[in-house]
């Protein structure tokens, strides 16, 4: 190696060593802001039939709760001690079966959920609410209408819809007054919902001096109704009222027409769905039915736009389940706590404009000033024709529907499936059909 080359290598080595020994001062990131304080993560549960004949209704309700959770997270609707709450949803299938419903209820209690928005059926909600009540966890249904739900003195039970002792008289008065029925036959599916509603209809009709010519019983699992329909046909009624769900109401009216029964058929909200047209086809045309609340057409525009964008068409009670979750959030804000022991008492004090109008509860947990709606099925769709409030009926006009206030802003762009928190313990089984 010649001398000039040796010199060049020595200089390069020295420079390299100097560079390695020099420490660079990290540059301060002037744009970095202090991280926002992390808030608690709280689990809200939904429970309802997600499989079986009325799964379309249970899924609709689940979507209503999921939308409320998405909106609450996006808008940071609840802060506790200045820290925003992040909500998760745990959803369980009660199969519309009371036994499964109590198993689901215990599972949700064990999972330490803050509140339950459910169940769909009265026959499921009533026994399940006993379990929630003992645990001090609020349960709020957007569809269970049996009066017994809120008549037991449990201070953690609520509903965002009316009761059967309001709905029964509403549809019965329509049968007596508008349909001018003289002879009515009544059937029910022996569930807490179906039998309870049929009892209220019968009581009101007899009070109006309408002759009840027969009372038949079936079950919520039956598929062949020819035996009871043959008995009904022999009574020659003007109107037949059925207390039950659309899963059985559709086949029942279809078989009735096949037997040549010409009477008008009337139903409660369990069968007041577009599904009746799908199940019974032309046989369902002209049926009348009631719902314990305002029709989906009267839900706030904000809710309808957000829901349909994310989930498609509203089936029935999704707006009422949405408002059930929103009532829980309002109570948490009032209590500045997600602890059920602290916010549950505040449920009686909430007052807000929801997707279904003004939401407030009385001392029993029932919704104040609940409306009833009468529908008629035309062209395969149930269409609202009258609103009943405080016993007074008035024609339904879409452009004059009670406007529910600002309820649901546009949800986050990417909807996520309901997250299931870790379930402590094994899951048992599931519960009955509607209200």
Rg of the chain in Å (alpha carbons): 28
Query: Is residue 388 within 8 Å of 170, Cβ to Cβ?
Result: yes
Burial 223-246 (b: 16+ CB within 10 A, else e): eebeebbeebbebebbbbbbbbbb
> Is the pLDDT reported for residue 177 higher than 60?
yes
Nearest to 123 by CA among 201, 187, 203, 219: 219
**How much is the pLDDT for 5?**
40
Q: Half-sphere exposure of 395 toward its Cβ, with a 13 Å CA cutoff?
A: 2
**How much is the pLDDT for 29?**
44
**How much is the pLDDT for 134?**
98
**How much is the pLDDT for 435?**
54
In whole angstroms, what is the distance from residue 225 CA to residue 113 CA? 41
**How much is the pLDDT for 310?**
97
Q: What are 9-19's pLDDT values in tens digits?
A: 343 434 443 44
In whole angstroms, what is the distance from residue 254 CA to residue 223 CA? 11
- What is the signed CA dihedral for 162, 164, 168, 169, rounded to 10 degrees? -60
pLDDT classification of 272: cutoffs 50, 70, 90:
very high
Q: What are 277-334's pLDDT values in tens digits?
A: 999 999 999 999 999 999 998 999 999 999 999 999 999 999 999 999 999 999 999 9
Angle between helices 226-235 and 246-258 in degrees, nearest 10:
60
Predicted structure pTM score = 0.82
Query: Is residue 360 within 8 Å of 368, Cβ to Cβ?
Result: yes
Strand bridging mode 372-378 / 211-217: unpaired
> Is the pLDDT reported for residue 404 higher than 60?
no
In whole angstroms, what is the distance from residue 193 CA to residue 90 CA? 26
Segment 179-204 shows an average pLDDT of 97
In whole angstroms, what is the distance from residue 352 CA to residue 330 CA? 8
Query: Is residue 143 within 8 Å of 164, Cβ to Cβ?
Result: no
Q: What does pLDDT average to over the chain?
A: 87
Distance from the Cα of residue 314 to its chain's centroid:
11
**How much is the pLDDT for 112?**
98
**How much is the pLDDT for 34?**
52
pLDDT classification of 428: cutoffs 50, 70, 90:
very low
Segment 55-81 shows an average pLDDT of 97
In whole angstroms, what is the distance from residue 114 CA to residue 352 CA? 20
Strand bridging mode 264-267 / 239-243: parallel
Query: Is residue 162 within 8 Å of 293, Cβ to Cβ?
Result: yes
In whole angstroms, what is the distance from residue 214 CA to residue 387 CA? 29
Query: Is residue 246 within 8 Å of 54, Cβ to Cβ?
Result: yes
**How much is the pLDDT for 21?**
43
In whole angstroms, what is the distance from residue 265 CA to residue 257 CA? 10
**How much is the pLDDT for 391?**
74
Helix/strand/coil percent split, the chain, to 5: 40, 20, 40
Angle between helices 122-135 and 98-110 in degrees, nearest 10:
30
What residues form DSSP beta bridges with 389? 392
Please state, for a pLDDT cut of 90, what percent of the chain lies above it.
Answer: 79
Least confident of 18-32, 66-80, 335-349: 18-32
**How much is the pLDDT for 356?**
95
Distance from the Cα of residue 29 to its chain's centroid:
48
Burial class (CB in 10 A: 0-12, 13-18, 19+), 378: middle
> Is the pLDDT reported for residue 418 higher than 80?
no
pLDDT classification of 388: cutoffs 50, 70, 90:
confident
Query: Is residue 246 within 8 Å of 273, Cβ to Cβ?
Result: yes
In whole angstroms, what is the distance from residue 321 CA to residue 115 CA? 13
Q: What is the DSSP string of 269-323?
A: GGG-STHHHHHHGGGGTT-EEEESS--GGGS-HHHHHHHHHHH-S--SSHHHHHH
> Is the pLDDT reported for residue 6 higher than 90?
no
């Amino acid at each position: 190696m010649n001398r000039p080359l040796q010199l060049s290598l020595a200089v390069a080595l020295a420079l390299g060593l100097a560079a390695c020994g020099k420490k660079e001062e990290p540059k301060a990131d002037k744009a970095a802001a202090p991280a926002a304080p992390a808030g608690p993560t709280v689990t809200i549960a939904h429970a309802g039939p997600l499989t079986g004949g009325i799964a379309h209704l249970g899924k609709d309700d689940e979507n209503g709760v999921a939308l409320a959770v998405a909106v609450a997270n996006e808008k940071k609707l609840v802060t506790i001690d200045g820290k925003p709450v992040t909500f998760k949803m745990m959803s369980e299938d009660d199969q519309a079966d009371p036994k499964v419903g109590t198993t689901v209820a215990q599972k949700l209690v064990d999972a330490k959920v803050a509140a339950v928005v459910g169940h769909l059926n009265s026959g499921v909600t009533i026994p399940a609410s006993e379990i929630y009540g003992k645990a001090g966890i609020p349960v709020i249904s957007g569809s269970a209408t049996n009066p017994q739900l809120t008549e037991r003195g449990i201070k953690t039970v609520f509903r965002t819809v009316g009761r059967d002792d309001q709905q029964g008289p509403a549809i019965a008065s329509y049968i007596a007054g508008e349909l001018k029925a003289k002879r009515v036959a009544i059937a029910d599916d022996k569930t807490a919902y179906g039998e309870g509603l049929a009892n209220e209809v019968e009581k009101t009709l007899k009070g109006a001096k309408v002759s009840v010519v027969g009372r038949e019983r079936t079950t919520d699992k039956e598929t062949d109704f020819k035996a009871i329909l043959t008995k009904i046909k022999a009574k020659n009624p003007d109107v037949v009222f059925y207390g039950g769900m659309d899963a059985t109401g559709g086949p029942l009216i279809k078989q009735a027409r096949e037997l040549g029964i010409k009477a008008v058929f009337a139903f409660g909200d369990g069968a007041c769905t577009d599904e009746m047209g799908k199940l019974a086809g032309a046989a369902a045309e002209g049926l009348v039915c009631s719902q314990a609340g305002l029709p989906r057409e009267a839900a706030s525009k904000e809710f309808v736009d957000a829901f349909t964008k994310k989930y498609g068409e509203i089936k029935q009670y999704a707006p009422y389940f949405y408002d059930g979750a929103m009532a829980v959030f309002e109570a948490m804000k009032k209590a500045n706590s997600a602890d059920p022991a602290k916010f549950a008492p505040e449920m009686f004090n909430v007052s807000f404009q929801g997707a279904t109008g003004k939401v407030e509860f009385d001392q029993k947990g029932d919704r104040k000033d609940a409306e009833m709606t009468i529908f008629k099925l035309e062209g395969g769709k149930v269409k609202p024709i009258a609103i009943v409030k405080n016993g007074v009926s008035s024609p339904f006009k879409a452009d004059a529907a009670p406007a529910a206030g600002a309820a649901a802003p546009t949800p986050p762009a990417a909807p996520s499936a309901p997250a299931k928190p870790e379930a402590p313990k094994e899951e048992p089984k599931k519960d009955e059909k509607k209200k």
